[in-house]
Amino acid sequence: MTNTRDLIAKLREVYKEKDLSYDKLLSLMEQSDNYVSKSTLSRLFGKNWEQYSFDYENTLIPIANLLLDVEDEADDDSETKAFKSLLKFKMSVIDENAKQIAELKEQLKEVSSKERSKYAERLEKETEKFQKSLDFAMKQIELKDKRIDQLMDANDRLSVMNNRMLEQFMDCPLKQECRK
């Protein structure tokens, strides 16, 4: 006989994956001519399920048959049926996940190419903006260089004029007469 705790863990996992309610599970059990009480279901799928013990044949196997969609084969006992069904369910989940992964990869390729083109456009716009800013700054530097050159030329002219005036002042004949 299989470990009851393992089977309960698998049943709880499938119960969560199928997103069933107690009432839905009870109605499905009635349709398959099996019956387990709602309180048993609440204990089995509740938070403190480890505190309880469950009848394997009368409680767990009927729930496993329902949750795991067990196919009846003449040679299989109920445990084998439950585990075959669990395997079948897991394989279908794996197949669904593989399909979802393939779809997501395709979407990622599409998104990636779209995002890359958007990023390239954004980068191009930013590059143009920075180039315009750089060109403007270079023109400003050229203008300032011209102004500095003009001011230096004017300063040189003023220096020459000042030197001439100073020489004239020093050579002034009136200056010598004033000293006397």
Domain that holds residue 19: 4-67
Q: Is residue 91 part of a domain?
A: no
Q: Is residue 48 part of a domain?
A: yes
Angle at 66 between CA 27 and CA 25, to 5 degrees: 30
Q: Is residue 59 part of a domain?
A: yes
Q: Is residue 32 part of a domain?
A: yes
Q: Is residue 103 part of a domain?
A: no
Q: Is residue 11 part of a domain?
A: yes
> Is a pLDDT exceeding 70 seen at residue 176?
no
Q: How many domains does the chain have?
A: 1
Task: Kindly state the average pLDDT of the residues 34-63.
Answer: 81
Q: Is residue 47 part of a domain?
A: yes
Task: Kindly state the average pLDDT of the residues 18-42.
Answer: 82
Q: Is residue 175 part of a domain?
A: no
Q: Tell me, what's the pLDDT at 147?
A: 92
Are 54 and 44 spatial neighbours (Cβ–Cβ below 8 Å)?
yes
pLDDT tens figures, 53-85: 887 777 777 787 777 764 445 556 666 666 766
Element (H, E) at 168: helix 78-170
